[in-house]
Amino acid sequence: MGRGESVMSELNVKVGLIGKFDMLKFKNMSKVREKAIQAAPAREVSGVFPVNENAKALHPDFLELVIEKIIARNGAKTFVLKSADGKPLPYFRAGQYISLKLPLDGSLVTRSYSLCSSPREALSGSYEITVRANPGGFVADRLLSEKNVGDKIIASGPQGFFYYEDLRDKKQVIGLAGGSGITPFLSMARAICDGIEDFELTLLYGSRTEEDILFRGELDEIARVCPKFRVVHVLSDEEKGGFEHGFVTAELIQKYAPEEYSVFLCGPEAMYKFLKPEIEKLGLPERLFRRKLIDVTKTPWESEDYPQEARGREFTITVRQGPQEWTVPASADEPVLVAIERAGIKAPSRCRAGECGWCRSRLLSGEVFIPRENEMRRWADIHYGYIHPCCSFPLSDLTLEIPGEFF
């Protein structure tokens, strides 16, 4: 017996009459297939594929939601949103947001709000967002005063990158929150408590007074039952036992930080500006610092590189969308997107902070100012003249080509 025959004998390999490649079987393969086809029932071939349906469910073009419940809080309201068809909503990572599309005074505007519910609730068709009063704001106060249980709302699917990633972040996270910036952290705390996320979160939450603390009961209860979550309340305008006093600083962070940690930050613009140099004192690698997208400034002229001669000036924007064209007024003190929406033009947008690129449009002529903290365009977009209207302030008359928005 040869060496090859010995190996095949040991492996118990069955060889056909003509060897490894049974040519007769191969020759008859087409007849076998034809017989199977003829025996199959004559029914319509489905064009629905599970992988496509799953992708559509997780990344929908838009969501139809209904306000199921409204919970009043101190200076804010939590809206419990259910899917209009009763089906599960797209799953999300704790820390992400949805963008609401709202018709107001003949305009169609978008606003993004962090999901504050646990991702687990999405499986039963429920999201929660919390809206805080914003005196002088165009949308928040209208939401608080005009929206009622049963009203329908159109929203995007979950968006954003402000979430824990174990390949990048340390197992210990120091969360820094201020005001309504608590909402993504509440979602994270709930996800940790539910066993969905696996990291330890110490939250330093800054408020003016004890009365101003949002979700205090919920946060304290999660901290009581979940050993992986801790909340430290920091009051700027009051000194009370059981609370830290003053502002969140590098010294305070180091007081509660372990040896290795990541820092997550979400709060108002003033908090970002104050904490930027404080966080630099910590000497953390850049990859260990995460911040939720920064809302576009309401005072662009305070930026170091803003051309002061443009402040307060009025311009016109020629907007092209397919075969349509409009000319609308615009202020140098407001983003281009605001002027477009005020004119009632349906323009795409989601994050409104330069991050997602959903509003990406081509600037055909003119000049704009983009705050450094919101400059997140790709090199190619900068090179070929594309801007994000949500965070671009006009410095001259503009001609802009924007994509269509069809829902």
How many separate domains does the chain show?
Answer: 4
Asked if 207 and 277 sit in the same domain, the reply is yes
Asked if 233 and 314 sit in the same domain, the reply is no
Residue 162 inside a domain? The answer is: no
Domain end, chosen from 269, 291, 313, is at 291
Residue 346 inside a domain? The answer is: yes
Q: Give the number of other Cβ atoms within 10 Å of residue 148's Cβ.
A: 8
Tokens found for residue 128: 């929660």
Distance of alpha carbon 139 from alpha carbon 109, whole angstroms: 8
Q: What does the pLDDT read at residue 142?
A: 87
| Whether the Cβ atoms of residue 223 and residue 231 lie closer than 8 Å to each other | yes
Q: Which residue has the higher pLDDT, 303 or 25?
A: 303
Q: What is the CATH number of the domain that holds 132?
A: 2.40.30.10
Asked if 283 and 306 sit in the same domain, the reply is no
Across residues 197-205, what is the average pLDDT?
Answer: 97
Q: What is the CATH number of the domain that holds 280?
A: 3.40.50.80
Reading phi first (left if > 0) and then psi (alpha if -120 to 50, else beta), residue 66 is in beta
Residue 169 makes CB contacts below 8 A (sequence gap 6+) with 199, 262, 288, 290
Report angle CA 368, 371, 373 to the nearest 5 degrees: 150
Asked if 287 and 176 sit in the same domain, the reply is yes
- pLDDT tens, residue by residue, 75-114: 899 999 999 999 999 999 999 999 999 988 777 889 999 9
Q: What is the CATH number of the domain that holds 333?
A: 3.10.20.30
Distance of alpha carbon 25 from alpha carbon 32, whole angstroms: 10
- pLDDT tens, residue by residue, 224-259: 999 999 999 999 999 999 999 999 999 999 999 999
Asked if 16 and 63 sit in the same domain, the reply is no
Q: What does the pLDDT read at residue 156?
A: 94
Asked if 266 and 308 sit in the same domain, the reply is no
Domain end, chosen from 264, 291, 318, is at 291
Asked if 176 and 256 sit in the same domain, the reply is yes
Distance of alpha carbon 398 from alpha carbon 336, whole angstroms: 9
Distance of alpha carbon 119 from alpha carbon 187, whole angstroms: 8
- pLDDT tens, residue by residue, 342-366: 998 989 999 999 999 999 999 999 9
Residue 407 inside a domain? The answer is: no
- Whether the per-residue pLDDT at 158 is higher than 80: the answer is yes
Asked if 10 and 59 sit in the same domain, the reply is no
Domain, as residue range, for 23: 3-37
Residue 299 makes CB contacts below 8 A (sequence gap 6+) with none
State pTM to two decimals.
Answer: 0.84
Residue 206 inside a domain? The answer is: yes
Asked if 70 and 142 sit in the same domain, the reply is yes
- Whether the per-residue pLDDT at 288 is higher than 90: the answer is yes
Residue 47 makes CB contacts below 8 A (sequence gap 6+) with none
Asked if 194 and 284 sit in the same domain, the reply is yes
Pair type for strands 324-331 and 314-321: antiparallel
Question: Average pLDDT, whole number, for the chain?
Answer: 90
Tokens found for residue 315: 């311009």
Distance of alpha carbon 325 from alpha carbon 321, whole angstroms: 6
Report angle CA 62, 66, 68 to the nearest 5 degrees: 145
Asked if 349 and 323 sit in the same domain, the reply is yes
Q: What does the pLDDT read at residue 294?
A: 75
| Whether the Cβ atoms of residue 328 and residue 339 lie closer than 8 Å to each other | yes
Domain end, chosen from 224, 256, 291, is at 291
Distance of alpha carbon 313 from alpha carbon 235, whole angstroms: 40
Residue 46 inside a domain? The answer is: no
- pLDDT tens, residue by residue, 295-333: 888 899 999 899 999 999 999 999 999 999 999 999 999
Percent of residues in the chain assigned helix, strand, coil, to nearest 5:
30, 30, 45
| Phi/psi at 285 (5° precision) | -60, 145
Tokens found for residue 236: 């700027």
Asked if 287 and 205 sit in the same domain, the reply is yes
Residue 45 inside a domain? The answer is: no
Residue 201 inside a domain? The answer is: yes
Residue 84 inside a domain? The answer is: yes
